[in-house]
Structure 1
Amino acid sequence: MDNKRSSANVIPLPTAKDAQEQAYQDSMTSGARTFICHVYEQGQRTHLAFSLSLSMLLELARLNSADGKKNKSNVDEMINRPLMQNHVKEIAKYLTETPSYILPPFIFNSDTPIKVFTFGEGPVKCGYALIPSNIALYVTDGQHRLEAIKKAIVIKPELHNDSVTVLVVQEDDIDQIHQDFADCSKNEPIPAALRASFDVSDFLSKISRDLTKQLNIFNGRIDKISKTVGKDPDYIFTMNQLRAGASEFLYGDSKKLDSYTEERDGKYQMLLDKTKLFYTEFAVNNTTWSLLCQPHSQSTNFVNLYNLRQERIDFNSVGFQIISRIGHLIFFENNFSDEQNSLLIKALASLDYRRSCILWHNSVVIDDDKGGKKIISQRAAITKALKVAIAEVEKQTGISLN
């Protein structure tokens, strides 16, 4: 690859008035449209930053996307990777259903120098850019967002009034354009635990975050960053594991991801209250969990959660899911009285959750060939252990959960 770089045709002028007058005079004779922008240098190239309405974005942007079937052998000749329609639909759904949405900047490429009349001092200058009608502004980064906007704006016309930031990079080398896209894609994905902590537009993530704030048993004891809690003695679950448990309780399935219906229907507080009630009643009636009913700051000296994870299944995600799913049967699948609910929760809390307990053997607990007991998390194993737990609760209470 050679060192050729196309560059914006930057024309510095003394004042803002001079730049504006010159730009408008030029546009009257050339037919180009004038846009306010910021001009700066980065990586030996001139970059132009614009704020454009979504309507203007759709008008100016051009795609040069590869076809997943037709371009298998020459995808490197296209500017963009193949469009993933499911990703487009996800973004469109987000735009139409999220009032406080946010879109990151788009990156366009222009292989034709854009004339800009600038003014000001310093590394970032203000300017008036002339965009001719025949210039091609191809999307380097943001093609899925662009296609999603096209779909969403039909359903939600008020999006016409919103705007986005667009960065135009001056580049005529296809290899460098591809490299720009690859460089933009090097961001580390947000860990699941951190996403569950931050994404409050997601119903399960929001309810999990409220559980960590409003219940002593979880407050200060949920790792909101890491993928696993490892050997840390201070944390019981990751945020994503708590979210999975909440999903089991609310839906009877940790794979359910419908994150909008409950809030639209005004049920959020009711569901949060039920979730808090269940976990609190379970903890109060379980000898080990009751140690967590006092604030985290008062229990760190005598509760080692790592040791409990080695000894028991209920301090592992597998056991927590089993407990939560039975909670779902109690609160959502049957019309029990408050007295029956209390009786069932007490029975559930009284089960022996030690790994050594025969109840869990050959389902979620197996021998590890070293004299120890290993927890397994396959769905079939959890389902088998769930049936055992249900049978035990029913035997103690005389109440059917099915």
Structure 2
Amino acid sequence: MGNIDTNYCYSFPAVRGQQAGKPFYIATCPLRIIPKIFMYDEEEVPAELRSQRTLNKSRIPEMTRYLLDSPDDYVFSALTASVGTDVEFKNSDENPNLGTLVVPMDAQILINDGQHRRAAIEEAIKENPELGQDNIAVLFFVDEGLKRSQQMFADLNKYAVRPSSSLATLYDHRDQASEIARYLAMNAKPFIGFTEFERSSVSVRSNKVFTLSGIKQANRTLFGKGSKEGFSEEEKTKAVAFWNKVNDNMPEWQQVQNKTLSAPEFRQEFLSAHGIGLQAIANVGHYILELEENEQNQLLAKLGKINWLKSNPAWSNRAMQHGRLSKAVSNIFLTAMQIKREVGITPTLEELEKENKLLNA
């Protein structure tokens, strides 16, 4: 690395490290220059010459909104880039691995990881230039050409595993549907102590019954909410009251809570121990919540009279397909239709048509 003309360079405070025998640098860069140094022009670069997947344009507005809506508490992880070998590292006197990374303005820099963050930063700064003062960490690998960049992209993404939807729900404090699911898991009788917080399914021997993501979905159904809609405090209170009332009318739920029935046995035998049961009850609940309290109580009382055993022929082709539970949207609807009949709710003509169509499909 020879000396370079620093008049046409970017200088970043950086730490030098070594990986696989090659130097890399962790630098802090002001957000405002991220769009300038990371050119991203996929139209001109065919896939085999790129080191990235093409930009998924639909993700950018969402990420941009996130930056703009939470300028005081957003968090963006480091970008990873490959830079040509013509960079210079000026180390400090005290420590040979602390110093300044000098990158020529015309250096070719390829983003290996973080292109959507880069695009969102560019858009957000247009709307709120003050964000440009913030910094982001950039991990620079000194690149020996494109082949290495493509391999880096493959390696970086090969071992990135998406968190389960239950864990994502547990940790997402911005999403109100997740917020209310966590609240119910701690405060509503059927869920206290019986919620699987980390996985999207309950393992066979687990002493848990419902998943956090299942509770979140059921709640959306209960209030007829889309995936982007929030919840009011009143709905939060309503939800706890509803699930507590359902609990009072579900003998098997109570047996599990009183330890007279084990959770694994319950799940093995009963439809009401699964996400589809919860969703279908929520589907019927959406209708029940519109009624006067007296009527609500009468209908909910009939839930306990239903035969929730998976072996009940009434569930065949509704919740059960070829002897197995099915969580498909159509199966949830068909199961809810059966519950409506059993508690004495008259289905609408539209619902009957849809049911016929699905059962004869």
The bucket for the TM-score relative to the shorter chain is: 0.7 to 0.9
Partner of 1:262, secondary structure, is coil
The answer on 1:136 being equivalent to 2:136 is no
Q: Which 5+ residue runs of structure 1 have no aligned equivalent? A: 1-7, 12-22, 369-373
Is the partner of 2:218 in helix, strand or coil? helix
Overall identity of the aligned pairs, in %: 20
Q: Is contact 1:283-1:349 (8 Å) kept?
A: no
1:317/1:35 Cα in 2 relative to 1: closer, same or farther (>3 Å)? closer
Aligned to 2:247: 283
Partners of 1:233 and 1:304 within 8 A in 2: no
Q: Secondary structure at the match of 2:121?
A: helix
| Correspondent of 1:383 among 333, 339, 344 | 333
Compute the TM-score of the two structures, normalised by the length of structure 1. Answer: 0.77
CA distance in 1, matches of 2:331, 2:11: 65
Change (3 A) 1:77 1:392: same
Structure 1 residue 277: Cα displacement = 0.7
Secondary structure of the corresponding residue to residue 200 of structure 1: coil
Structure 2 CA distance for aligned equivalents of residues 191 and 221 of structure 1? 18
Q: Which residue of 2 aligns with 1:257?
A: 227
Partner in structure 2 of residue 347 of structure 1: 302
Structure 2 letter corresponding to 1:190: P
Aligned-pair CA distance for 1:313: 1.0
Report if the CA contact (8 A) 2:189-2:243 is conserved. Answer: no
Q: Does 2:324 correspond to 1:324? A: no
Within 1, Cα distance between the matches of 2:82 and 2:318?
Answer: 56
User: Deviation of residue 33 (structure 1)?
Assistant: 4.2
Summarize deviations over 1:224-263 as a string: whole Å, max 9, x none.
22232131241102222222222221226xxx311xx426
Please point out which of 261, 264, 275 is paired with 1:306. Answer: 264
Give me the whole-angstrom Cα distance separating, in 2, the residues matched to 1:313 and 1:98: 42
Indicate how the Cα distance of structure 1 residues 213 and 34 shifts in structure 2: closer, same or farther if over 3 A, else same.
Answer: same
After TM superposition, the structure 1 = structure 2 runs for residues 51-66 of structure 1, keeping only pairs within 5 Å, are 51-65=28-42
Structure 2 Cα separation of the partners of residues 241 and 378 of structure 1: 13
Match of 1:272 in 2: 236
**Cα distance between partner residues in 2 of 1:179 and 1:391:** 58
Deviation at 1:342, TM superposition (A): 2.4
Query: Per the alignment, do residues 83 and 232 of structure 1 end up closer, same or farther by CA in structure 2, a change over 3 Å counting?
Result: same
Partner residue, 1:338: 293
Distance 1:180 1:141, change over 3 A: same
How large is the Cα RMSD of the aligned pairs? 2.8
Structure 1 residues 155 and 339, CA, compared in 2 at 3 Å: closer, same or farther? farther
Query: Are residues 43 and 392 of structure 1, via their aligned partners in 2, closer, same or farther at CA, if it must alter by over 3 Å?
Result: same
Tell me, what secondary structure is at the counterpart of 2:52?
A: coil
Written as runs of structure 1 = structure 2, the 5 A alignment for 1:109-188 is 109-119=82-92, 125-186=97-158, 187-188=160-161
Q: CA deviation at 1:176?
A: 0.7
Structure 1 residues 112 and 222 mapped into 2: Cα distance closer, same or farther (>3 Å)?
same
- In structure 2, relative to structure 1, the CA distance for the partners of 1:216 and 1:283 (3 Å cut) is closer
Q: 1:233 to 1:173 in 2, by over 3 A?
A: closer
User: What amino acid maps onto 1:321 in structure 2?
Assistant: Q
Q: Of 35, 50, 74, which aligns to 2:12?
A: 35
Contact 1:37 1:129 in 2 (8 A): yes
CA displacement at 1:120 relative to structure 2: 5.2
2:310 is aligned with what amino acid? R
The reply to whether residue 191 of structure 1 matches residue 164 of structure 2 is yes
SS of the residue aligned with 1:314? helix
Q: 1:199, 1:95 → 2: CA distance?
A: 15
**Residue 75 of structure 2 aligns with which residue?**
102
1:184–1:242 CA distance, 2 compared to 1 (3 A): same
Q: Distance in 2 between matches of 1:43 and 1:242?
A: 45
In structure 2, relative to structure 1, the CA distance for the partners of 1:158 and 1:216 (3 Å cut) is farther
Counterpart-to-counterpart distance in 2, 1:330 and 1:356: 27
For the pair shown, which has the larger CA radius of gyration, 1 or 2? 1
Give per-residue Cα distances to partners, 1:343-387, cap 9 Å, x unaligned: 23223344332224343233223563xxxxx43333323222222
Q: CA deviation at 1:279?
A: 0.6
| Aligned counterparts of 2:333 and 2:243: Cα–Cα separation in 1 | 21
The SS at the match of 1:36 is: strand
What does the per-residue CA deviation read over 1:186-211, in whole Å, with 9 as the maximum and x for residues that have no partner? Answer: 21221222212222222222211121
Equivalent-residue separation in structure 1 for 2:51 and 2:145 (angstroms): 10
- CA contact 1:66–1:78 (8 Å) conserved in 2: no
Q: Tell me, yes or no, if the aligned pair for 2:82 and 2:141 is still in contact at 8 Å.
A: yes
Question: Match of 1:91, SS?
Answer: helix
